[in-house]
Each structure stands twice: as structure tokens, then as C-alpha cells.
Amino acid sequence: MYRRWILSALAILLSVVLIACTTATTQQPQAKVANITETTNTNSQQLPKGSAKRVVALSSLSADIIFQLDKTKIVGITGSRLFKNNPQFTDIPRVSEGQSPPNLEKIVALKPDLVIGAEGFSNVPIQKLQQLGIPTFLTKVNNWESLEELTKTLAKSIDANPQPLLNRYKNFLPDKPTQISALVLVSRQPILAPNKNSWAGDLLAKFQVKNLAAELQGKSPISGYVTLSAEKVLEANPEVIILVNSPQGNSEAGLLDSLKKETFWQQLQATKNNRVYVFDYFGLVNPGSIDAIDKACQQLKQALSSATNF
């Protein structure tokens, strides 16, 4: 069990690194990206002129946005588990599976007039496709504003109306603020939590949750995340703790069981009051898809409402 948890934690850490790199809209080398916060304007990179009619999306979020805007325009998608059991995407060709690199031959065979990649994760295949003369675009989504801007940009690229989706996004957010303190923990060794410069941190801010790691900075190799000591968690003493399961969708019981063995765990008010909640990786850490974001927002509403009415 412990070995399985270690592998799960490593998978989460790796995936956080990937999503940290998977979401900017400049085609600069990764080393030139100052940070992974999605405060950059997604329109800073110009899309190819004209309305795209055959789009291949190398990230699940971009694929879903294009599909929701105009499903006739999407001809190839990434093989994310988010689409695995979704009948709407069954007949759309997969050009990659899991963390495997996209199959360039499959992409070219689809004759796309636009390929959308994710900054840091899709840079190499995007550059190769550019050399073949195929129009490309890199995306980055790490906060709510960049999600809205990306939706507008992609809508413009396929001559679609973004407003229905933008209105849907607004419905994900709460009607009233929730003033409650919380920590999101994605791993145990090290204890890793998102600050304000991450999708998860920005989502908590949209709910007006007091993210106790929001302003913290550290030497974590993952931008937007900070490492915390047991003493720091105990000092923060959040009212709510959110644990994140693995990117593969496996149960995060290993992380919870491990934390239960720590002496500080039983001293936290969130633990004493049974305000510990488990969320899926997609939606909270990695936006993943529109439905994943919706699900995470609904779960946040329920968790915070339960904690508030305790």
C-alpha cells in the first residue's frame, strides 16, 4: 500500500509539472517563460488568419472548448481519460495516448488547418508541424481570466460565438462569497500546496476562500506550488483541507492514510471537525475539461457549504 501511494504521489508531482507547462500562448522556448501563472494574455500570440475548419487539439481543455463551440471543426484530439467514456468524443480520432508524444503522422493525415498545443508540453511537436507548414497555436490556462480569454480566442479562430460558453462559466461560480480558510494538499512527501499563482489557487480565490498558502513562496521546482513543513500546516490550522487524487483517477486513500499517521494531523481543526474532502485531479489542479471544471466547482460549493453550516 505504501509503495502504491509513493508511486501515486510521484505521478501527481509529475503531472503537476506537466500541467504547469501545459497551458501559455507564446511560442517562446520554455526557458523563456517567466512563470506558469496564467495571467498572461492568451491573445498575445496571433492565430493564423482565416477561419479554421479542421482543428486538432493536443490538450483536453482545448479539445473540449473547440467541441463545445462547434463540434464539426474538431477532427483530432488527445487521448485523455476525460474523453474515454464520453460518447460525444467516441468517433473523433486520437492522436496521442496518456503522456505519449502526439503521433505526427496521424496529425498530418487528418489534414488540419490548425493544431492547438499546450505550452511546455507540446512545444516539440508544434515546432515540427510548423516546419511542415501547418498553422499552430500554443495555449496556457492557469487562472479563470485566461480560460475566458482562451475561449474567446479559439471561438474567433473557428468563427464561433463564445458567449454561451462564457455564460456557462459564470454559472460555475458561487452566488455568495465563502469566508473560510483552506489548504489544498496534492502530496505528502513533500507536502505540496498550490499558492495563488496556480489554477487551484485562483479557483479558491474565485470562491473567496482564504487559501492559507496563497501568498507563500518557496523553492519548489513547480511554479505555483509551495512545499510545507508539518509545523507550517499545524500553524496554518485550516478549517478545511482538500486532498487531490491521482491524475489517473485512482483513490487517494494512500495519501489520507499516510497523513493520519502524522502527529500533527489529528491536531488540525479540519480533521477534528471532519472537514477533509477528496477532489479529482482534473478540474482542481489541472482544468482538464469544461465538465471537469464544473464538477470541481460544484464539489467546492458543497464542501464549503457543509463546512459553513457545521
CA nearest to 80, candidates 297, 287, 307, 310: 287
Distance of alpha carbon 17 from alpha carbon 36, whole angstroms: 10
Amino acid (one-letter) located at 133: G
Mean pLDDT estimate for the chain:
82
List the domain boundaries for the chain. Answer: 15-172, 174-308
CATH fold label, 15-172: Rossmann fold (3.40.50)
pLDDT tens-digit series, residues 188-239: 888 999 999 999 999 999 999 999 999 998 776 778 999 999 999 999 999 9
- Is the Cα dihedral 53, 38, 188, 172 positive or negative? negative
Contact 116, 136 (CB under 8 A): yes
pLDDT tens-digit series, residues 264-284: 999 999 999 999 999 999 999
Residue 186 has pLDDT above 80, yes or no: yes
Q: How far is CA 310 from CA 22, 122, 180, 303, 304, in A?
A: 38, 45, 12, 11, 10
Q: Which of 34-48, 50-64, 209-223 has the lowest mean pLDDT?
A: 34-48
CA nearest to 35, candidates 24, 45, 44, 51: 24
The maximal CA–CA distance of the chain, rounded, in angstroms, is 60
Distance of alpha carbon 253 from alpha carbon 242, whole angstroms: 13
- Residues 69-81, mean pLDDT to the nearest whole number: 95
Residue 251 has pLDDT above 80, yes or no: no
* Residues pairing with 241 in the sheet: 183, 276
CATH class as words, domain 174-308: alpha beta
- The pLDDT score that the predictor gives to residue 248 is 64
pLDDT confidence tier of residue 256, bands split at 50, 70 and 90: confident
What's the pTM value of the predicted model, to 2 decimals?
Answer: 0.83
Distance of alpha carbon 194 from alpha carbon 211, whole angstroms: 9
Residue 76 has pLDDT above 70, yes or no: yes
